[in-house]
Structure 1
């Protein structure tokens, strides 16, 4: 298997299910979960994700210092890069109505630095990382500044992560299409 596999697609496209299927016969998997639970709906979504994966998989929760998730396991899933990006974006830009270009670049660089550090640690154990992300550029242009900035940042991050990935899959309607 390749060292870094990026899995992208729209909401409810089957990205996570496909990513998990790559390790379907493995029990020694570390699942890096980036969601924060803010309300009952998110709590329900997190529980649904947890119930879909094998109980013996280890879970690491966080958005920073992801390299700390690396053990002697060879198989990792990060789900999801877009949630991680929104969490880091709001940490960096909290309370701001307009996000200037330098802050946008700061968010982009911080997310990519976290991913690169994680990849480096996983390569040291000769492991494989599957990264799940959302394709956010195939819809209407958001009407507000923050949503447009978020879409733009995620698009740039997805491009950068795809460039350092050995394989990239686009999942639509539950069907994966290898694009790289």
Structure 2
């Protein structure tokens, strides 16, 4: 089944584009929220509420901040799974050491490749600015960039959403060879 990757900067409309694509799916839609609720952060809760209000009432919402691959492995044929978002998920598992992270990515990619469901994955773009001055920021930026590149290599469609426009990179661009995955 098709994998669609949607990437872009914050507040660009990438989640709305993903939701638009999912609405065209004839079967059931399962929305996977990777954000963790924080009662002490009203602004964060408002963001979560905004996403919830946009979703159709008949979509199933599952919250999974950590074990994304195991949840996606339960997807069935005829379903559309929308994961929002990979950067948030990565932040939740960022403290994994490099070997554990590489194993996590390999497992996720294997699940994506073998899924019988349509998959729509949203990812944040973070690497277009300065190199973070602190190690954890560089790890986050590098891991997210590498992850989105590896998913883009197996996706049938890749969109960049920016400035309120969705650009179909699979139509406009040339796919790079699939990376080996160790480091980029």
TM range (shorter): 0.7 to 0.9
1:86 equivalent in alignment to 2:91:
yes
Rate the CA distance shift 1:31–1:139 in 2: closer, same or farther, 3 A: same
Gaps of 5+ in 2: 171-184
Rate the CA distance shift 1:119–1:40 in 2: closer, same or farther, 3 A: farther
CA contact 1:60–1:69 (8 Å) conserved in 2? no
TM-score by length of 1: 0.82
SS at match of 1:89: coil
CA distance in 2, matches of 1:136, 1:145: 15
Deviations 1:81-109 (A, max 9, x none): 1111111113x2xxxxxxxxxx2353244
Query: What is the RMSD of the two structures over their aligned residues, measured on CA atoms?
Result: 1.9
Gaps of 5+ in 1: 93-102
CA distance in 1, matches of 2:60, 2:109: 19
CA distance in 1, matches of 2:83, 2:125: 16
* Count of residue correspondences: 164
SS at match of 2:23: coil
Task: Pick one of 134, 146, 149 that aligns with 1:144.
Answer: 134
CA distance in 2, matches of 1:156, 1:149: 10
CA contact 2:22–2:82 (8 Å) conserved in 1? no
Greater than 4 Å deviation, 4+ residue runs: none
